[in-house]
Amino acid sequence: MLILLLLNPAIAAAQEGAKTGAVRGKVIEKFSGEPITGVKVSVAETTLGATSDSAGNFTIGDVPTGNRSVYAALEGFKSQSLRITVAQGDTGFIRVSMQTDAFAVSEIVIEADREYSAASSRELRAVDFDLRPRQSAQDLLRLVPGLFIAQHAGGGKAEQIFLRGFDIDHGTDINISVDGLPVNMVSHGHGQGYADAHFIIPETIERIDIQKGPYFAERGDFATAGAVSFKTKDALDYNLVSLEGGGYGFGHGVALLQLPIENDQTSAYIATEFLHNDSFFESKQDFNRYNLFGKLTTRLSNEATLGLSFSGFGSSWNASGQIPERAIASGEITRFGSIDALEGGTTQRENLILSYNSSLKSNASLQTSLYYTHYRFRLFSNFTFFKDDPVNGDMIEQNDLRSIFGFRGQYQIRGAISTIRTATSIGTEFRTDEINVELYRAPNRVRTTSTALAIVHEKSTGIFVKEELIFSPRFRMEFGLRGDYFIFDVEDRLKKDSVDQSRYVQQTLLSPKFNAIYSPFQRLDIFLDAGTGFHSNDARGVARDNNLPVLPRAFGGEFGLRIQPVDQLVISAAAWILDLENELVYVGDEGVTEVSGPTRRIGLDLDARYQVLAWLYADLDVNLSRGRYKDAAEGEDFIALAPTFTSVGGLTARYPNGLEGSLRYRHLSAAPAIEDNSVQTRGYTVFDLTLGFRTPAYKIGLTVENLFNTNWNEAQFETESQLRNETAPVQELHFTPGTPVNVKGSISYFF
């Protein structure tokens, strides 16, 4: 790879003498004239392609001279084909006008910009989730095929995530980012990898990039089960004011406003959001969240773009927590009651992102981002009720105060070795967290004793290189290597029992990656992926236990197919395997890290997208998995809460006259709640319905959550607790109930 890296600039320079030219262009929406981002543009009968940037611009270099066909495609738009004459040493220009077609199944796949996985890599645009029920960016995660979320703390805390046979907790094995800013929190006061994306306003999201498995060199910490990257809009298609209301005291408002700037090269907009929800519990949740977002994008030249964005949010809530089944069976509480109604918390986060992107030459590009985050978190929880303190109760208080600073950059250059086209990428990222974490016993929200107090200085640096070799339009390979270096510096402020657990630890890790795609026919792609990854451990756990690995490894592989039997149908399938060196879960409620042995998960992902009629679109995702501990006895080797079967699907309709609607379901099967599988979680199937009518000026909508009023458990745990009238603790299934049927209405105004 290093040889290819050194040769590429010389090879690219040598290409300049060949009989080639370049194609430059701009992609716009046909009626509004607004630029379109993310359009895949390709040159017929070659492996050459590019993707339009935030201003709709693209450049394709080293195009063979002559009369060429150029294709442009993007899901949600009608594809376009144009002709252009390419002269030697010259750059031709074309303007591409595209018209919205919300349910157009992608008609072409560009050879030079294909994803490397059958079901793992997917780009979702706003048109794909416009009709689906959502209250926050966390709900957008449900669009990831096979990903489920569960909320168990009044709506304000990060959701519990399930993906590919993992109970990811709040983010231990999934890498989440927005515009290059990491969402995951290392060494968090409530759980390792804690990923609270509530600071994102859903209406500002342009697309979601999805990658499953540890096969991608640009993804580092937590990218074991997968990675999800949100991309916000650079400019608005229209201004928006939206109001929504519903049962159980639900109210939601959003406003997006494009700022009037008398400069064609600069765009800026602001967005704000408010949400209030008392929820369906007998004890009002009184959940309030405020969001603010602003973004400015300016073109410094035809090749360079500078962006600046700010986001901030604050929320507060009460929670009914997880309740034991025996309390309902005895009649002590109802399904929507609580044992300790004082649970809840507050959280705030502010982010600043500065980005610079440039096409240095027709065959090279640079992407960089610099970010800063300030974050505060306070949570009151009670999982065991009166087990430790039969008089006052077992409520705890967790606090996390931190500042994060980081940088990410990637440089890519395209060239050729004889007939083999190459793309070499070099990237680096740096992150530093200054963290103050605290844990207290706090019955009735009154602090009594300190359980853990620490200051954590955590730094990480990652460097990656990947080499893409395009042998022909039918066969491509990618080799990657990633190196990560972590430093943990823990200052123990409590020194419990006069033991100082301060410690300085460092570790380096190399992670090789491999991807290949073979397309024997135009409508069939065959994928092979393999690689290693990792999730970092909590710094306090490493400081406390010398035997804990700093960066536990993950080893994964995947074989997949993607086929388009007819124009309107695309089917993908991926068989995968993923091994973890150790299952590590930081239990913030106790301030310790629980370590279990190595695990193996195998599974199958299936998904289909079908355009039934010009106005009707169907989708289906089915995910099967099996997870076991590798060093445990048979029958006692189940992975607690690891999902075994999930499925999501639905029908979406949009008539030309403005009527639209969607009927969707999600199914999560029962799963082991304990290692011997003697206790299982309760599976569920829930349906949601949305109806709407849209005009160019306004939209009215109706959403029915849990259409058939199913009793379902959203979050479930097998744990030990003791009620006030009990003399000994009992171990059984505890759960947070899912929403009953709820109707919401909305009205949106576009201008």
Domain 2-113 CATH superfamily: Immunoglobulins (2.60.40.10)
Q: In a 3-state reduction of DSSP, which class is residue 539? A: helix
CA 576/CA 392 separation, integer angstroms = 49
Q: How many CA atoms lie within 13 A of 716 on its CB side?
A: 25
Q: φ and ψ at 542, to 5 degrees?
A: -65, -40
Q: Are 278 and 249 in contact (CB under 8 A)?
A: yes
Mean pLDDT calculated for residue range 442-465:
96
Position 586 scores a pLDDT of 53
User: Which pLDDT score is estimated for 11?
Assistant: 45
H/E element, 425: strand 420-441
pLDDT the model gives residue 16: 45
The answer to whether residue 6 scores a pLDDT higher than 70 is no
Cβ neighbours around 535 below 10 Å, total? 29
Find all residues with CB under 8 Å of 153, minimum gap 6, and list them: 317, 319, 321, 343, 344, 345, 379, 381
Lookup: tokens for 576: 């995968």
CA distance 91 to 422: 21
Higher pLDDT, 337 or 117: 337
Which pLDDT does position 549 carry in this prediction? 84
User: What's the pLDDT tens digit per position in 86-128?
Assistant: 988 888 889 998 876 655 554 444 444 557 777 666 666 555 6
Core vs surface per residue 235-274: b (16+ CB within 10 A) or e: bbeeebebebebeeebebebbbbbeeeeeeeebbbbbebe
396 vs 57, 344, 362, 440, 716, CA distance in Å? 53, 11, 58, 6, 20
As a whole number, the mean pLDDT across the chain is 89
- pLDDT tens-place string over residues 626-679: 999 999 999 999 999 999 999 999 999 999 899 999 999 999 999 999 999 999
* Per-residue pLDDT, 51: 79
The whole-number average pLDDT for the span 243-256 is 96
Q: Residue 111: its pLDDT value, please?
A: 47
Phi-psi label, residue 193: left if phi above 0, alpha if psi -120 to 50, beta otherwise? left
DSSP 3-state of 327: helix
pLDDT of residue 14: 45
The Cα 46–Cα 321 span in angstroms is 58
SS3 string of 373-387? EEEEEEEEECCCECC
Tokens matching residue 25: 């262009």
pLDDT tens string 275-303: 999 999 999 999 999 999 999 999 898 78
Report yes or no: 664 and 650 within 8 Å, Cβ to Cβ. Answer: yes
pLDDT (average), residues 459-470: 96
Q: What is d(CA 501, CA 285) in angstroms, rounded to the nearest whole number?
A: 38
The answer to which of 32-46, 303-317, 365-379 has the lowest mean pLDDT is 32-46
Name the pairing type of β-strands 420-441 and 730-737: unpaired
When mean pLDDT is compared across 352-356, 614-618, 698-702, the lowest value belongs to 614-618
Instruction: Give me the pLDDT at residue 54, please.
Output: 65
Q: Specify the amino acid at residue 170.
A: H
**Residue ranges in 209-253 assigned as alpha helix (H):** none
Residue 8 pLDDT: 53
Please give the model's pTM, rounded to 2 decimal places.
0.89
Judged by DSSP in three states, 111 sits in helix
Task: Note whether 405 and 432 are within 8 A (CB).
Answer: yes
Which CATH class name applies to 176-750? mainly beta
User: Given the DSSP bridges, would you call strands 553-566 and 66-73 parallel, antiparallel or unpaired?
Assistant: unpaired
- Own/partner pairs for 89-94, CB < 8 Å, 24+ apart? 89/16, 89/20, 89/21, 90/21, 90/22, 91/21, 91/22, 91/23, 91/24, 91/59, 91/362, 92/21, 92/22, 92/23, 92/24, 93/23, 93/24, 93/25, 94/23, 94/24, 94/25, 94/70
- Residue 593 clears pLDDT 50, i.e. is over it: yes
pLDDT of amino acid 110: 44
pLDDT over threshold 60, residue 589: no
80/35 Cα distance (integer angstroms): 15
**For residues 26 and 5, which has the higher predicted lDDT (pLDDT)?**
26
Per residue in 396-429, pLDDT (tens digit) is 999 999 999 999 999 999 888 988 989 999 999 9
DSSP run (H or E) holding 639: none
Secondary structure of residue 47 in the 3-state scheme:
coil
pLDDT score recorded for residue 49: 80
CB atoms within 10 A of CB 683: 16
* Residue 600: CB atoms within 10 Å: 17
Between 661 and 37, name the one with better pLDDT. 661
Domain ranges of the chain: 2-113, 176-750
Rounding to the nearest 10 degrees, give the CA dihedral for residues 533, 535, 536, 542: -110
Pairwise pLDDT comparison (137 vs 683), residue with the higher score: 683
Contact 617, 661 (CB under 8 A): no
Q: Band of the pLDDT at 521, cuts 50, 70, 90?
A: confident
Q: Return the structure tokens found at 523.
A: 């409508």
333-361: burial string, b at 16+ Cβ within 10 Å, e else: beeebbbbbbbbbebbbbbbbebebbbeb
Tell me the DSSP string of 149-208. Answer: EE--STTSSPPEEEETTEE-TTTTTEEEEETTEE-EETT-SS-TTEE--TTS-GGGEEEE
Diameter over CA atoms, the chain: 88
Find the mean pLDDT for residues 22-26: 88
User: Which pLDDT value is given to residue 251?
Assistant: 96
Amino acid at 391: V
Mean pLDDT to the nearest integer, 344-373: 92
Q: Distance between CA 156 and CA 196 in Å, rounded?
A: 9
Residue range 153-205, pLDDT digits in tens: 777 889 999 999 999 989 999 999 999 999 999 999 998 999 999 999 999 99
Classify 391 as helix, strand or coil. Answer: coil
Residue 37 is predicted with a pLDDT of 77
Q: Which long-range contacts (CB under 8 A, 24 or more apart) does 651-656 make?
A: 651/612, 651/616, 651/617, 651/618, 652/103, 652/131, 652/616, 652/617, 652/618, 652/619, 653/615, 653/616, 653/617, 654/102, 654/103, 654/131, 654/615, 654/617, 655/615, 656/615
- Cα separations (Å) of 387 from 546, 726, 735? 30, 9, 18
The span from the first CA to the last CA of the chain, in angstroms, equals 52
